[in-house]
Homo-oligomer: A and B are copies of this chain.
Amino acid sequence: MSKAQWIWYFGDYELYHSLKLHSRREEFGFEYPPFWSMKTPYPTVSFEKEYRSEKADIVRVVSRHKAYFEVDGVRHPVNADVEIPAGEHKVVVNTIAVSGLPSIYINSEYLVTDDTWTANNNTVGSSLPVGTWEVYDSPDSDPEEFPFLYETKTPVKSTKVSEGILYDFGREMYGIIRIEGVSPDANLRVIYGESPEEAIDPENALIRETVTGKDCYALAPRAFRYVCVGSDGKEPRSVTADYEYLPLEDKASFTCSRRIIKDIWDTCAYTLHLNSREFFLDGIKRDRWCWSGDAYQSFMANNYLFFDPEITKRTILALLGKPPYEQNVNTITDYSMLLIIGTYEYYYATGDKKFLESCYPRLRGLYEFMNGRTDAKGYICQVDGDWIFIDWADMDKGGPICAEQILFWKCRNSLADIADVVGAAKDAKRYRNEADDLRRSIMRDYWREERGVFVDCHTTGRENVTRHANIFAVLFGFVAERRARRILRTVMTDETVPPITTPYFTFFELCALCKSGKLTAAQKKIESYWGGMISLGATSIWEKFDPRAEWTGHLEMYGMKYGCSLCHAWGGGPIYLLGRYCLGVYPTSVGYKTYAVEPSLGLYRHIEGTVPLPDGGSVTVCMDREKCTVLSDRRGGVLRLKGKEYKIPKGRKVTVKL
């Protein structure tokens, strides 16, 4: 029998913690709820299980919400010992929660709460395997509290400034500021900053708080590197931080002949750590929200750093919400699509069919919502309340835009793949037909064979070309190799086409370049762009970076002096790029049943690194111009070098001379 764990209705843990998370944003002294609609856990949940006991057994259902415990049709109280005779039993725990997350825990000899239970919301057809997480494994643990760990950090430096004392914690951080040894009479003003400038600018700093009345304080968890504490009384005896984090293990590493790359890689890894919390956040300071487009990129990096399926699943469930579907994810149409695409990619990396089965009705619900918002020609267009984002970039949005349609094509195919996995063959056929129809329309309306480009929009006559649609076409295999090679020439390496300016889309661009064999282009960009931030002292990767900007220019964004997040998850892209295209590790069938290692030095003289594999495994690659060595603890690998393939035996090094 497995270890007892708290159980809840599938997905409701994520909705509950998403609500908590999204209620924490603050800005210039006011609270800042999101502008999209959020969902709650089901308040009424019935947990069910059939089992057999060899002997009479005492069973106690632990529940913090109102509930009864029904054994073979007879009701008993919860939080009390109930004797159950030996034999076959059907047990039901019916709960109601006015607030919070209905969840229960049983740990008896023959009956424990674990993932073999099902739960329903008292409607027919809602029965699903329960949600659970092994960290909640005792009657005292509480699924309404997220299992963060804490570590005390002291400032590396403190400086007297006109605003008070400026504490520097040495690197970007997220945690609880503790202030001790002050007078209850004193008014303390605490200003948080990712930069020292921000921490001493009470007018423009995004996060600040004034407290009084106590002799010590533990403030709400927030992001900072610098904190300035000003007091109208005596100075605090001590200011420390409880660093708040989720203990995700780095299972990867990367070094190469260029020293800066290790710094970049480590900083990317730290940036991902800070943003890997209840869910993948976009950034830890300003909005602290969960955005599907950012999360999609984090899913990719996750597989090359932690390979933690839990955080990807939690993020998918938080973003996916539950019926009714009346809005796109984060209100953004492309983000709904990326969520469906990312969910299939999660499956492809992990082989987690059970997750797809439980999610499928919701994915379909989200898809149908989008599908009900196409124009007469079947294109996704802007309908009331939708945000057609793609990127912060000038684009001809005078009609349905090409990048959105290509993404929709990919989304339909991903949903078809998902439908196939869960045995919904009829659905799969429909989605695939819809994808094929859309592909034909896109090629007819947006593709310019003579120029070898996709235009943004086909209805305005402007024939404007941006990189976005063309990058998606290459990245998602919308065009076959010959046309992809043409696009590489006509758009992706054509400097007259306006460059991508956001790190978000730069990641897609670099993926498409790597996919097209242009690893060196990605390596150059990593060094100039990511390396540029590092050389300016960044301890985590920023939301945006323009090498030509002044220092204050790096800090400002969205019209706010310190609006730019200096710790943004999408900066973690090199983790994926270097693991996927430099070390060259990728699955060639579902769940890494088979996988390839296809390393490539590109600009580097030698590379050495480890990439995680499912189930705690890993593969280590070491390569220079003379030879390549691979060691993996998982079966099914094949080393691909210069058109040749070498089987990678489990647990034994394979070395190939070059």
A contacts, CB < 8 Å to B: 16, 19-20, 22-23, 27-40, 42-44, 46, 66-69, 75-78, 94-100, 121-126, 323-324, 326-327, 384-385
Contact = CB atoms under 8 A, between A and B. Distances in A.
Of the listed residues A22, A69, A98, the one surrounded by the most CB atoms of chain B closer than 10 A to its CB is A98
Contact of A31 (B35, B46, B68): B68
Contact of A19 (B39, B75, B96): B96
Contact of A324 (B32, B97, B323): B323
Contacts of A326: 123-126
Contact of A44 (B37, B77, B98, B99): B37
A327 B323 CA distance: 14
Contact of A75 (B32, B99, B323): B32
A326 B361 CA distance: 14
Nearest to A30: B77
Contacts of A76: 30
B68 A30 contact: yes
Contact of A99 (B27, B30, B100, B384): B100
A294 B326 CA distance: 33
Contacts of A97: 23
B78 A30 contact: yes
The 8 closest A-B pairs by CB, nearest first: A99-B99, A124-B385, A33-B96, A30-B77, A31-B66, A37-B122, A123-B326, A40-B40
B36 A98 contact: no
Nearest to A40: B40
B38 A96 contact: yes
A294 to B, nearest CB: 20
B324 A324 contact: yes
Contacts of A68: 30-33
Nearest to A36: B122
Given A19-B43, A75-B30, A324-B324, A94 B385 contact: no
Contacts of A66: 23, 31, 33
A174 B250 CA distance: 61
A29 B79 CA distance: 12
Contacts of A94: 33, 35
Given A19-B96, A99-B99, A121 B323 contact: no
Contacts of A95: 33
A27 B384 contact: no
Of the listed residues A39, A40, A75, A94, the one surrounded by the most CB atoms of chain B closer than 10 A to its CB is A40
Given A44-B37, A75-B32, A23 B98 contact: yes
Contacts of A385: 123-125
Nearest to A95: B33
A98 B100 CA distance: 8
Nearest to A365: B324
Contact of A122 (B28, B46, B327): B327
Contacts of A77: 29-31
Contacts of A324: 323-324
Given A23-B96, A98-B99, A34 B38 contact: no
Of the listed residues A78, A94, A97, A122, the one surrounded by the most CB atoms of chain B closer than 10 A to its CB is A122
A288 to B, nearest CB: 13
A16 B43 CA distance: 11
Contacts of A122: 34-38, 327
Contact of A96 (B16, B22, B100): B22
Contacts of A69: 30
